[in-house]
Amino acid sequence: MSIFITFEGSCEPFHISHNGTVSTVKQMVKVYFCMPHLDSKQSRYFLELSYSGAILQDSWSLADVGISSGSTLRCELKEENEAIVHVFNTVTKETLALMGTVINLSSPVSKLRSLVSLRCGLPVSAFRLTTQSGTKLYDCNTLEDYVAEVGSTLRLETWDGWGEFLRACFRGHKQTVQQNLSEERPVFRFQQRVALYIAAFQGHLELASWLIERGEQADEAVGVHPYREWCHETDHQEITKSPMHVAAETGQLLILKFFVRSSVLTLSCRDAIGRDPIQIALKYRNRECVAHLVTKLWSVMSFNVSRGHATRSWDPATSCVLPTLKTDNILSCPAHPPTSSTSQNASVQLPQLHPPSLKNRGEKKRVRKKGATRKGSKEIPVTTNSNQNGDTWKSRVPLPPVFRDSNPRPLFVYTSPDSAQILSAPLESFSQHCGRTPRENAIYCLALASAFTEKPWLQQLSVARSLARRSVQKAV
């Protein structure tokens, strides 16, 4: 079949077999564009093929991922960056690779913990980093004090007995979270704050709503474990980060709307360096979150001034009473908001927002409407060569827990005594050969297929079935 490959502004046709692999296509591209130096082990550059928004792996067959004759692949030449350290997450069983573009061996451990928290969604007070030998990494030291060479692997460990609780938080299983809460009141409150933090990071609206109903607040800092309150002098600065900050940081718009609707004070909460949610959303270019926060902040702080007496108005979005001041001999000036909100406590200062002038208001509205359709990108460090054999695929396909059916079934007329072994033997051999159970292999194939963001869901499901079928054929 014939396909087209775009590379550095040119689009060239290539004739390959129907069952050709991605690796074969890369070799053809190297020969056609005269790039034999890429095969050298000392080369820091490599070719990357992508289709429908997904990066193609070398072992994939073109037919398995739905590439037909006439399709166009995108080819890019990228530089390979070596990971400075790898961090194995004992909770999710995935390995994070931190590249040299974001960290080096002279960086402090506190910076490494901040990057790990940003990548995995755990607050810094809920985990610690250790070496393979069990040595704990302290924030005041640098990586070169513990890591002897580039590419070493560290371990992310949590509090004893918290594994099942944290995994339930990442999945959003409310009942499992409730079952694993501690009986000690201080630890119980800290676990709920950690759960709300993870729910804001993952976008679990049901879990977040349940925790808010139990008295947790989105603008409250996670803090530290009650057993470590005595060593507050060595605390990480990000312990002041709240779930509201995380929602603005990750662009979880539904969670953000829910937090603002539950309490208007979330608009004024600040992190360790004094940033409010709007500033955080602006840094990570989450346009929809910025637009929503600006709208809510303006609706809370605006009021009218005209002749008459003081009245109050109701804001249905924030469920709060807004003051509307009316005085004699004072002209109304809607273009100047008040310096403080009288509906809140005097000790709480909401961030000030200056409205556009009346002259250019229509022009700025048009600009905002035009840019509202663009999708913002987050400044989260992403590895150039991620580990395809890791367990990062587990978090991409949220599934309910395995259901164990204990209901009795009618017996057959004749049942062979070896029937159970006949059914279980192939499954066991597949797990030994592939390294994953059949269920985990199905989730893995679905996660790979979900990377084809430009394909409809049914076509992604077809790609997942093709990948699963090929993995079974390889096992045979």
Burial of 293 (0-12, 13-18, 19+ CB in 10 A): buried
Backbone angles phi, psi at 232, to 5 degrees: -70, -15
2-79 maps to which CATH number?
3.10.20.90
Mean pLDDT for all residues in the chain = 76
Q: What is the 3-state secondary structure (H, E, C) of 129-195?
A: EECCCCCECCCCCEHHHCCCCCCEEEEEECCCCCHHHHHHHHHCCHHHHHHCCCCCHHHHHHHHHHH
Q: Which CATH class is domain 163-293?
A: mainly alpha
CA–CA distances in Å: residue 374 to residues 54, 249, 253, 378: 20, 17, 15, 13
In whole angstroms, what is the distance from residue 138 CA to residue 75 CA? 43
Task: Collapse the DSSP code of 241 into the 3-class scheme (helix H, G, I; strand E, B; otherwise coil) and give the result.
Answer: coil
Ranges of CATH 1.25.40.20 domains, the chain: 163-293
Considering the entire predicted model, what is its pTM?
0.56
The pLDDT tens digits along the chain (476 residues) read: 888 888 888 888 888 887 788 888 888 888 888 877 666 655 667 888 888 888 888 888 888 888 888 888 888 887 766 788 999 999 999 999 888 777 888 889 999 999 999 999 999 999 999 998 889 999 989 988 888 788 889 999 999 999 999 999 999 999 999 999 999 999 999 999 999 999 999 999 999 999 999 999 999 999 999 888 777 667 888 999 999 999 999 999 999 999 999 998 899 899 888 999 999 999 998 999 999 999 888 765 444 444 444 444 444 444 444 444 333 433 333 333 444 333 334 344 555 545 444 444 444 444 444 444 444 444 444 434 444 445 556 666 666 566 555 555 555 545 555 555 555 666 777 777 777 788 888 888 888 888 888 888 888 888 888 888 887 777 66
Cα separation, 391 vs 375, whole angstroms: 27
The single residue listed with the structure tokens 């709480």 is: 348
Burial of 49-79, coded b for 16+ CB within 10 Å and e otherwise, reads bebbebebeeebbbbbbbbeeebebbbeeee
Where are the alpha helices (H) located in 63-153, listed in sequence order? 109-120
> Which residues of the chain form CATH 3.10.20.90?
2-79, 83-157
Architecture of domain 83-157: Roll (3.10)
**DSSP helix/strand/coil, 85:** strand
